[in-house]
Amino acid sequence: MQKLTTVEQFRSLAGESGVTMAVFKTTWCADCHFIDPFMPELEQKYAGRVSFVEIDRDDMPDLCSELNILGIPSFIAFRDGKELIRFVNKLRKSREEIEQFVERALEVADALPNN
């Protein structure tokens, strides 16, 4: 998963015509580390359909404040610079919950007209 280090990188990737899944984490978050083992498999499963990017909430606090990221890990799907759907809460997320969310994000993207 590509780790973003600047707001400009985020805006560029979130502005693409495909679905970009931003995963907000921190280094000290145990629930964030819980998802690490299976995220590469999810990235592979959705390759060509979803681009996954990682954002450390502590490295980009202004962006996270702008996006109202409170709980981590949090997932927000973007396309054409607009938020499609989010999976944001303070609870640990299972692989099944994340897969269901990615599927919902793709359904939302498919239901919207392309810009």
Model pTM? 0.91
For residues 60, 7, 89 and 98, what is the CA-based torsion angle, rounded to 10 degrees? Answer: -120
Contact status, residue 13 vs residue 53, Cβ threshold 8 Å: yes
Q: Which domain holds residue 13?
A: 2-111
Give the list of residues 6+ apart from residue 62 with CB closer than 8 angstroms, or none.
7
pLDDT tens-digit readout, 63-90: 999 999 888 899 999 999 999 999 987 7
* Phi, psi values for residue 27, rounded to 5°: -75, -25
Number of domains in the chain: 1
What's the CATH code of the domain at 106? Answer: 3.40.30.10
Instruction: Spell 79-90 as b/e; 16+ CB within 10 A means b.
Output: bbeeebbbbeee
Q: Which residues are catalytic?
A: 29, 32
- Which residue positions in the chain have pLDDT lower than 50? none
